[in-house]
Amino acid sequence: MTLHQGAVARPWVERILAINGWFVFAFLYLPIMVVVVFSFSGSSNVGIWGGFSLRWYDQMLGNQQLMNALKNSIVIALWSTVIATVLGTAAALSLDRYRRWVGRGAFDGLLYLPIIIPDVTMAVMLLLWFTQTGLVPLGRTSITLAHIAFNISFVAIVVRARLAHMDPEMEDAAADLYAGRWQAFRRVTLPLILPGVLGGALLALTLSLDDVVITSFVQGPGATTLPVYVFGLIRRSVTPEINAVSTFMIAISMVLVLGSLGFQRRSEKDD
């Protein structure tokens, strides 16, 4: 804070930065605004305002396929988030705390691979793996497994960042104060990394809900997710129902983002 107060104020710099801020804000949110506004339009034409109406929301709720895809999306997102969060947190802990296991170095590097390689590559790999091994039929289970596969990396990275600035003496102190390994984890480590774990979980949830590319490869007949269904809908015909669905999805994302910001605030306050 003191640094900022000490800096020489140059009004024109501040004005340009403010204008830039508004420009970025408009660039990001005007398209979203358009979609939201037109989702309440009564016209059958996507781009023409036809007075306020909820008919597209009504049609969306009556669309059995769409509702089914939404249900799939939610179930898959929840399962993959829970499992990826547990596995990702465990991976982060083992990488950060235990320095001497065989293959640690390789795993450390490879953990980031799912984030770096293109979705399409990952999608093809997963599809090949599912079809070649034949262990899992393509459908909700294969989509869930695929989402777990990429989400583990994201969770592990977020949790590791949190672990990195946790004082290692905390765990020593817990052990010194008669806590066994599990109690030390349960009473000290977990509460301290919880903001990271929850942040990673929210990220995983968002990524799972948003994914199109990987899901469209590993989905099976009759089991698709909402974003993939919407993508198919656009290819067939563009109706204002898309606007309603999009607005609905934006609302979900907004709630998740606000939740994740809340956790970050809380964790900053703790430090």
The residues binding another protein (CB under 8 A) are 167, 169-170, 172-180, 183, 187-188, 191-192, 270-271
Give the pair of three-digit tokens for residue 145.
Answer: 């497994």
Partner residues linked to 52 by β-bridges:
41
| CB nearer another protein, residue 33 or residue 190 | 190
Compute the distance between CA of residue 158 and CA of residue 206 in angstroms, rounded to an integer.
14
Min separation Cβ 97 and another protein, Å? 14
Inter-residue contact 240 to 39 (CB < 8 Å): yes
Give CA–CA dist 74/249, Å, rounded. 11
Residue 110 or 173: the one with the smaller Cβ distance to another protein is 173
| Nearest distance from C-beta of residue 237 to another protein, angstroms | 54
Q: Report the residue number, 47 or 191, with the smaller CB distance to another protein.
A: 191
> Shortest approach of another protein to residue 123 CB, angstroms?
41
Which lies closer to another protein via its Cβ, residue 70 or residue 174? 174
Residue 60's φ and ψ, nearest 5 degrees, are -60, -45
CA–CA separation, 114 and 124 (whole Å): 13
Q: Quote the least distance from Cβ 8 to another protein, whole Å.
A: 33
Scan for tokens 């009556």, then name that residue.
Answer: 62
